[in-house]
Structure 1
Amino acid sequence: MIRCKRVYDEAAQDDGYRVLVDRLWPRGVKKTDLRYDEWAKTLAPSTELRKAFHGEAIDFVEFSKCYREELKEAGGAAQALAKRAQKETVTLLYGAKNTEQNHALVLADFLRRLEN
């Protein structure tokens, strides 16, 4: 099972394996305060893609399409996380304010498709 959760939300017992999927450390969070098992920077969107989306040069649909292409190149890291999610709950942690349109949701969907 794959879940998504903001880093600012409290950790829960049922979060399972917690993976930070942002390229940059989240603002206002001390490294000693965040409970996480892995920081998967390689699965985060590229700096260029992130800036284009947050700068509104591209919309979420285009961002998602481009990000999926980047994830295809991530190979082993994505495969390993998808495999882990078949055995236990994996919670993808992200810092974005928007809980309905963010890279963690795209990544979760991508990983779920790898599971099948």
Structure 2
Amino acid sequence: MIVTKRVYEAPDPQDGYRVLVDRLWPRGVKKAALKCDEWCKTIAPSAELRKAFHAEAIDFAAFREAYRRELEASPEAARRLAALVRKQRLTLLYSARDTTQNHAQVLADFLRELA
């Protein structure tokens, strides 16, 4: 099972393996305070794609397609996380304000297809 959660939400024992999937460290969160098993920067969208989406130069549909192409071009980290899903629950941590249209949701869908 794959779930997504904002880094600002309290950890839960049921979270399983917790992975921060942002390229940048979340604002206002001390590294020692964030309960995560791994910070996987390489699986986050490229800086150019992230900036285009946040500047509203592209909409979410275009962002989703471009991010999926990036994931397909470098699938190593995604394959590794998908393998974890077969063994335990995986919680993808992100800092975006929007809980429905963000890269963690796209990544979760991508990983579900691989698992």
- Contact between 1:42 and 1:74, CA under 8 Å: does it hold in 2? no
Partner of 1:61: 61
Partner of 1:46: 46
- Contact between 1:4 and 1:91, CA under 8 Å: does it hold in 2? yes
Partner of 1:94: 94
Shift of 1:64: 0.1
- Contact between 1:19 and 1:91, CA under 8 Å: does it hold in 2? yes
**Sequence identity percentage:** 63
Give the stretch that moved more between structures: 83-92 or 68-77: 68-77
Distance 1:44 1:58 in 2: 17
- Contact between 1:19 and 1:39, CA under 8 Å: does it hold in 2? yes
Q: Does 1:18 align with 2:18?
A: yes
Distance 1:10 1:108 in 2: 20
Distance 1:16 1:111 in 2: 16
Shift of 1:74: 2.2
Aligned residues: 115
Q: Structure 2: where are the runs of 5+ without partners?
A: none
TM-score, normalised with respect to structure 1: 0.98
Distance 1:3 1:74 in 2: 22
TM-score, normalised with respect to structure 2: 0.99
What's the secondary structure of 1:4's corresponding residue?
strand
Q: Structure 1: where are the runs of 5+ without partners?
A: none
What is the RMSD of the two structures over their aligned residues, measured on CA atoms? 0.5
1:14-63 CA-to-partner distances (Å, cap 9, x unmatched) read: 00000000000000000000000011101000000000000000000000
